């Protein structure tokens, strides 16, 4: 299915296409009105940059009385050349809606143009991916040049199985969610929390409501999943996984709450990052806050330096250790937990010169108090890479501070008395916007520089005011 046909079936929902052509009586066709959006894209080394733009953002900038025909949309580069794009049906509504996404690859600034021309021809671009469903219920995805491959599992998560034409385990379970809490809680009516339950995407009753591998792929291949929990009655999970031929992967996980829900965990997860590379090093930006370090009155860089687990690159300190055999944690068993979300972390194999990174271009702020820090979003490494909320308080958090002579703020570790659950109300929405990148680099310093640049590149994409 071409982009043109896909868009043609999705026009009416935005309510912006004229029902009839505007024709001047006896004078021919009225000239079409056109608007354009400048998009800033900066690629220092000329590598294509993945761009993803919400359609609602584009529509909201247009005059209310402008009858845009989205079939006229074109993306033009700085040389005046048209470049391929696609619009993904992110909400699986079957219509063009404000939740859908415009995607393209660019190496420099571009201009998005639209008009109200009723007679415009639809663009048609060649697909870059193939998708084949197997008798096991999997979908095998590959770029047409054979350089990148992936598998959509029967649970609708995605494993990346090929990069640079080489087959191995790069990352598994893209799109996985771990959640826990008290599904029968009556906390709001002072009736108690009830029994605690913990589940993942792989465990019913988180059932697949709707799932689709979108067919148009001139820019990227997108998998869209919609889940619902029958145990946590108000929990819905919508995931969109977009794979670019460049090795960039965008995973958007949106969790809308439909009924009161008390949660202790709400985490997006990936597994087996560079799982077939025994020499893979786990490298990441120093935590702004790491509980293990704070208990000793140290920064995270000082904490890991004392354990010979840092590297210096261009005068900056980064944390570095073996994923499965990192410094022994003081408690819990996780290499790190109760830690701030940072801009990137990666597993990189020096022998292969290949790595996989998780990138959070705009990491969330760190709370001021210990309670606020613990209640905010965090990173965990316990074989799984997890990002999100973990509202479960270890008594060691207080005891180790006391053992180290620290003054501990007023703190109630009891789940119910301390009001630790994440009280999700109807209408609340939790969003996780994570990028992943498969890349090649000569060594650890080169990998670090590449990822620092990638953060700047992703943050540098800006849609200007409509003209």
Query: What is the per-residue pLDDT for 327?
Result: 87
pTM for the full predicted model: 0.91
CATH of the domain at 246: 2.70.98
Tokens representing residue 168 in the block? 């191995």
Residues 246 and 355 in one domain: yes
Q: Is the pLDDT of residue 324 over 90?
A: no
Q: pLDDT tens across 103-137, in order?
A: 999 999 999 999 999 888 889 999 999 999 999 88
Give me the mean pLDDT over the 378-382 stretch: 95
Q: Is the pLDDT of residue 215 over 70?
A: yes
Q: Is residue 415 part of a domain?
A: yes
Residues 338 and 200 in one domain: yes
Query: What is the per-residue pLDDT for 190?
Result: 76
Q: Is residue 88 part of a domain?
A: yes
Q: Is residue 170 part of a domain?
A: no
Residues 356 and 261 in one domain: yes
Contacts of 339 (CB under 8 A, 6+ apart): 287, 289, 290, 291, 300, 378, 379, 380
User: Mean pLDDT across the chain, nearest whole number?
Assistant: 91
More confident residue, 418 or 143: 143
Q: Is residue 168 part of a domain?
A: no
Domain enclosing residue 104, as ranges: 3-124
Residues 229 and 322 in one domain: yes
More confident residue, 107 or 392: 107
Q: Is residue 137 part of a domain?
A: no
Query: What is the per-residue pLDDT for 29?
Result: 52
Q: Is the pLDDT of residue 188 over 90?
A: no
Q: Is the pLDDT of residue 268 over 60?
A: yes
User: In terms of Cα–Cα distance, which of 105, 123, 137 is closest to 41?
Assistant: 105
Residues 102 and 214 in one domain: no
Coil, helix or strand at residue 370: helix
Give me the mean pLDDT over the 177-206 stretch: 89
Q: Is the pLDDT of residue 240 over 90?
A: yes
Among 98, 124, 150, the domain-final residue is 124
Residues 190 and 324 in one domain: yes
pLDDT interval class at 30 (50, 70, 90) = low
Q: pLDDT tens across 414-441, in order?
A: 898 889 999 999 999 999 999 999 999 9
Q: Is residue 138 part of a domain?
A: no
Residues 98 and 224 in one domain: no
Give me the mean pLDDT over the 258-280 stretch: 95
Residue 36 phi, psi dihedral angles, 5° rounding = -140, 155
Residues 120 and 202 in one domain: no
Rounding to the nearest 10 degrees, give the CA dihedral for residues 56, 343, 206, 134: 90
Query: What is the per-residue pLDDT for 140?
Result: 97
Residues 189 and 327 in one domain: yes
Query: What is the per-residue pLDDT for 394?
Result: 86
Q: Is residue 332 part of a domain?
A: yes
Q: Is residue 155 part of a domain?
A: no
Residues 217 and 360 in one domain: yes
Q: What percent of the chain has pLDDT over 90?
A: 77
Coil, helix or strand at residue 284: strand
pLDDT interval class at 4 (50, 70, 90) = very low
Tally the domains of the chain: 2
Query: What is the per-residue pLDDT for 409?
Result: 80
H-assigned helices in 255-369: 291-294, 300-305
- How far apart are the C-alpha atoms of 422 and 415, rounded to whole Å? 11
Query: What is the per-residue pLDDT for 296?
Result: 92
Residues 388 and 242 in one domain: yes
Residues 104 and 229 in one domain: no
């Amino acid at each position: 299915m071409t982009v043109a046909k896909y868009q043609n079936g999705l026009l009416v929902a935005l309510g912006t296409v004229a029902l009839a052509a505007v024709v001047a009586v006896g004078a021919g066709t009225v000239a079409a009105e056109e608007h354009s959006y400048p998009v800033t894209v900066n690629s220092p080394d000329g590598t294509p940059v993945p761009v993803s733009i919400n359609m609602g953002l584009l529509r909201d900038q247009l005059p209310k009385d402008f009858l845009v025909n989205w079939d006229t949309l074109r993306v033009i580069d700085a040389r005046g050349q048209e470049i391929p794009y696609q619009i993904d049906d992110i909400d699986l509504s079957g219509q063009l809606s404000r939740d859908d996404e415009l995607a393209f690859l660019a190496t420099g600034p571009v201009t998005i143009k639209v008009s109200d021309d009723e007679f415009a021809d639809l663009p048609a671009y060649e697909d870059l991916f193939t998708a084949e469903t197997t008798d096991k219920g999997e979908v095998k995805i590959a770029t047409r040049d054979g350089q990148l491959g992936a598998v959509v599992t029967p649970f609708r998560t995605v494993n990346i199985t090929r990069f640079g034409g080489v087959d191995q385990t790069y990352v598994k379970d893209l799109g996985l969610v771990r959640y826990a809490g008290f599904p029968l809680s009556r906390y709001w009516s002072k009736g108690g929390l009830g029994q605690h339950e913990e589940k993942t995407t792989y465990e019913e009753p988180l059932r697949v409501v709707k799932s689709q591998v979108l067919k148009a792929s001139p820019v990227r291949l997108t998998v869209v999943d919609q889940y619902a929990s029958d145990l946590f009655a108000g929990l819905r999970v919508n995931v969109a996984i977009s794979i670019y031929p460049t090795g960039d992967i965008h995973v958007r996980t949106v969790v809308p709450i439909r009924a009161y829900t008390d949660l202790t965990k709400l985490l997006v997860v990936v597994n087996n990052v560079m799982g077939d590379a025994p020499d893979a090093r786990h490298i990441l930006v120093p935590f702004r806050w790491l509980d293990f370090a704070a208990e000793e009155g140290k920064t995270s860089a000082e904490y890991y330096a004392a354990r010979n687990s840092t590297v210096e690159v261009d005068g900056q300190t980064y944390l570095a250790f073996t994923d499965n055999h990192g410094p022994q944690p003081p408690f819990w068993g996780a290499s790190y937990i109760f830690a701030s979300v940072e801009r990137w972390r990666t597993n990189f194999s020096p022998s292969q010169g290949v790595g996989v990174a998780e990138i959070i271009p705009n990491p969330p702020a760190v709370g001021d108090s210990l309670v606020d820090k613990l209640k905010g979003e965090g990173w965990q490494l316990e074989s799984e890479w997890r990002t999100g909320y973990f509202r479960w308080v270890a008594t060691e958090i207080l005891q180790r501070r006391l053992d180290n002579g620290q003054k501990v703020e007023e703190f109630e570790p009891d789940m119910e008395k301390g009001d630790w659950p994440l009280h999700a109300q109807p209408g609340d929405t939790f969003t996780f916007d994570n990028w992943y990148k498969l890349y090649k680099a000569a060594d650890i310093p080169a990998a670090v520089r590449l990822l620092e640049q990638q953060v700047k590149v992703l943050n540098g994409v800006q849609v200007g005011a409509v003209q």
